């Protein structure tokens, strides 16, 4: 893998900033102040229309020709109590003021330092933004932003690795976790308000909903295990074409990741899989540039094993999504799934406490990246790892 190129603007430890990066406090409506908050030195925008920007200039020509560029913004989550408080990122794209393809970040006043990752399609840092900026934060004139660090990189900061199924311990999709079956799987736990696309508007804590999800793959399928805590388990009475409206998961997959910055679904390879885990589990698919939605109906037993749990209250499942089922839905006969390739991946853990008429009241995601349903560039670059090396054969005893 090519070595990452990073450019850092660090307001906390300014000595860590990359040479020739610069805060442009003389840019239009961009007179930031310095503050120390939450244990860090930072800069703060004005929060009003006459002073809402933080401008940064980078080494000229940074990232020219890069296949993908991302920005990681570290911000203090303060504000948004009485009315929405948001910010957005802009950048120079060959003299055009481009807005990051993801939505404005909404704050939730958790008084914690958080990070948000933006994909920056079409970056051309030639200092042609306002005041000579390459990159600038817009506090939306709805409350100030406090920023302590911005990292720009040509490697996806949310790079993820899915291990191959171990041939010595194949996955049997039966809802029973057998020895070795899930060892070494990629896993992610969803249990924090900052992970909820609804900002915790309906979420009361990890006992209400939380989950750890495990991933492995092989040449036939993507395998997902969920260990889910849910005080109202398996509330989902939606049909497959609406199965995201209730307890379950949504899995986003981009099976051609040659351009990780593409911001609209590509025909044939971009998918949003709805998995409803109600009493009768249902699934459906949204795919292609037209976002065509199909109802796949009840999930076959070969593809799902699920049972309710009591300690904690919730449910546990194993799910297999066959690659060919996705590709066939798009009449795609050419895309291959092979070890070592990169795909795009994102997910939501969905939760409902309403039944009948289940709905999506909580939607937690592994990474702070917004609008995955419309914007593949917000999905995470994910490597399908090769088959694990076999354990050495035991040597014969004396
Ligand atoms: Ca703001
Ligand atoms: Ca199993
Ligand atoms: Ca529920």
Q: How far is the CA of 139 from the centre of ligand 1 (A)?
A: 4
Which one of the ligands is nearest to 315 CA?
Answer: 3
Which one of the ligands is nearest to 209 CA?
Answer: 3
Which one of the ligands is nearest to 248 CA?
Answer: 3
Least-confidence region, from 19-23, 93-97, 360-364: 93-97
Is residue 162 classed exposed, middle or buried when 0-12, 13-18 and 19+ CB atoms within 10 A define those classes? buried
Which residue pairs from 202-206 have beta carbons closer than 8 angstroms and sit at least 24 positions apart in sequence?
Answer: 202/353, 202/361, 202/362, 203/351, 203/361, 203/362
Count each helix (H run) and each strand (E run) in the chain, helices first.
1, 25
Mean pLDDT of 218-233: 98
Is there a contact between 321 and 224 (Cβ–Cβ < 8 Å)? yes
- Cα distance between residue 350 and residue 212, in whole Å: 13
Q: How far is the CA of 126 from the centre of ligand 3 (A)?
A: 49
On the question of a cis peptide bond just before residue 380, with omega within 30 degrees of 0, the verdict is: no
- Cα distance between residue 396 and residue 373, in whole Å: 55
Which one of the ligands is nearest to 307 CA?
Answer: 2
Instruction: Give the whole-number percent of the chain exceeding pLDDT 70.
Output: 97
Which one of the ligands is nearest to 360 CA?
Answer: 3
Domain borders along the chain are 6-153, 160-384
State both tokens at 321. Answer: 């999504």
- Please provide residue 183's backbone torsions phi and psi, each rounded to the nearest 5 degrees: -60, 135
Three-state secondary-structure class, residue 44: strand
pLDDT at 396: 63
pLDDT band at 226 (very low <50, low <70, confident <90, very high): very high
Report if pTM > 0.85: yes
Which one of the ligands is nearest to 78 CA?
Answer: 1
Which one of the ligands is nearest to 204 CA?
Answer: 3
pLDDT at 65: 86
Mean pLDDT of 364-385: 93
- DSSP single-letter state for residue 48: B
- DSSP single-letter state for residue 196: B
Tens digits of residue pLDDT in 237-251: 999 999 999 999 999
Is there a contact between 319 and 240 (Cβ–Cβ < 8 Å)? no
- Cα distance between residue 334 and residue 238, in whole Å: 33
Residues with CB under 5 A from ligand 1 (ion): 85, 87, 139-140, 142-143
* The two domains 6-153 and 160-384 share their CATH topology (first three levels equal): no
Q: How far is the CA of 260 from the centre of ligand 3 (A)?
A: 33
pLDDT at 2 > cutoff 90? no
Which one of the ligands is nearest to 177 CA?
Answer: 2
pLDDT band at 41 (very low <50, low <70, confident <90, very high): very high
pLDDT at 203: 96
pLDDT at 287: 98
Q: 292 versus 193: which is more confidently predicted?
A: 292
Tens digits of residue pLDDT in 130-172: 999 999 999 999 999 999 999 999 999 999 999 999 999 999 9
Q: Which fold has domain 6-153?
A: Jelly Rolls (2.60.120)
Q: How far is the CA of 229 from the centre of ligand 2 (A)?
A: 19
- DSSP single-letter state for residue 39: T
- Cα distance between residue 229 and residue 315, in whole Å: 7
- Cα distance between residue 247 and residue 25, in whole Å: 47
pLDDT at 398 > cutoff 60? no
Tens digits of residue pLDDT in 259-280: 999 989 999 999 999 999 999 9
pLDDT at 266: 97
- Cα distance between residue 10 and residue 7, in whole Å: 10
Q: What secondary structure does DSSP assign to 85-120, as a single string?
A: -EEEEEEEETTEEEEPSSPPEEP----SEEEEEEE-
pLDDT at 395 > cutoff 70? no
Residues with CB under 5 A from ligand 2 (ion): 172, 174, 176
Tens digits of residue pLDDT in 315-339: 999 999 999 999 999 999 999 999 9
Q: What secondary structure does DSSP assign to 261-289, as a single string?
A: T--SPPTTTEEEEEEE-SSS-EEEEEETT
Three-state secondary-structure class, residue 241: helix
Least-confidence region, from 54-63, 92-101, 237-246, 301-310: 92-101
Q: Is the dihedral of CA 361, 187, 238, 356 positive or negative?
A: negative
160-384 domain in CATH 3.40.50.1820?
Answer: no
Give the contacts of 198 (CB within 8 A, at least 6 positions apart).
361, 362, 363
pLDDT at 391: 62
Q: How far is the CA of 29 from the centre of ligand 1 (A)?
A: 14
Q: Of 51, 223, 37, nearest to 136 (Cα)?
A: 51
């Amino acid at each position: 893998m090519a070595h990452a190129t990073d450019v850092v603007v660090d307001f906390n430890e300014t000595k860590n900033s990359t040479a020739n990066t610069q805060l442009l406090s003389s840019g239009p409506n961009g007179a930031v102040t310095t503050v120390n908050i939450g244990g860090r030195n930072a800069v703060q925008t004005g929060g009003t229309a006459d002073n809402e920007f933080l401008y940064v200039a980078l080494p000229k020509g940074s990232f020219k020709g890069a296949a993908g560029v991302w920005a990681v913004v570290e911000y203090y989550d303060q504000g948004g109590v009485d009315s929405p408080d948001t910010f957005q990122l802009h950048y120079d794209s060959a003299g055009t003021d481009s807005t990051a393809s993801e939505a404005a970040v909404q704050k939730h006043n958790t008084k914690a330092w958080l990070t948000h990752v933006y994909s920056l399609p079409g970056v051309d840092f030639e200092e042609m933004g306002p005041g000579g900026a390459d990159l600038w934060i817009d506090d939306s004139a709805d409350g100030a932003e406090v920023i302590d660090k911005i990292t720009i990189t040509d490697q996806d900061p949310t790079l993820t690795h899915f291990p191959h199924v171990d041939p010595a311990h194949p996955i049997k999709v039966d809802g029973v976790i057998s020895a070795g079956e899930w060892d070494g799987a990629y896993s992610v736990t969803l249990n924090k308000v900052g992970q909820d696309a609804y900002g915790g508007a309906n979420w009361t804590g990890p006992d209400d909903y939380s989950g750890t999800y495990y991933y492995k793959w092989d040449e036939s399928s993507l395998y997902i295990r969920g260990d889910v805590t849910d005080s109202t388990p398996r509330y989902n009475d939606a049909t497959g074409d609406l199965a995201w409206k209730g307890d379950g998961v949504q899995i986003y997959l981009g099976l051609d990741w040659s351009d990780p910055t593409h911001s609209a679904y590509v025909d044939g390879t971009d998918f949003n899989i709805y998995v409803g885990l109600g009493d009768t589990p249902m699934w459906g698919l949204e795919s292609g540039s037209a976002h065509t939605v199909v109802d796949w109906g009840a999930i076959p037993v070969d593809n799902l094993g699920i049972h309710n749990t009591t300690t904690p209250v919730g449910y546990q499942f194993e799910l297999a999504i066959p690659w060919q089922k996705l590709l066939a839905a798009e009449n795609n006969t050419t895309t291959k799934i092979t070890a070592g390739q990169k795909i795009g991946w994102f997910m939501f853990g969905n939760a409902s406490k309403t039944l009948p008429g289940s709905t999506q009241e909580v939607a937690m995601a592994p990474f702070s990246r917004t609008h995955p349903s419309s914007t593949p560039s917000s999905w995470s670059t994910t490597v399908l790892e090769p088959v694990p090396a076999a354990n050495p054969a035991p040597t014969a005893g004396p």
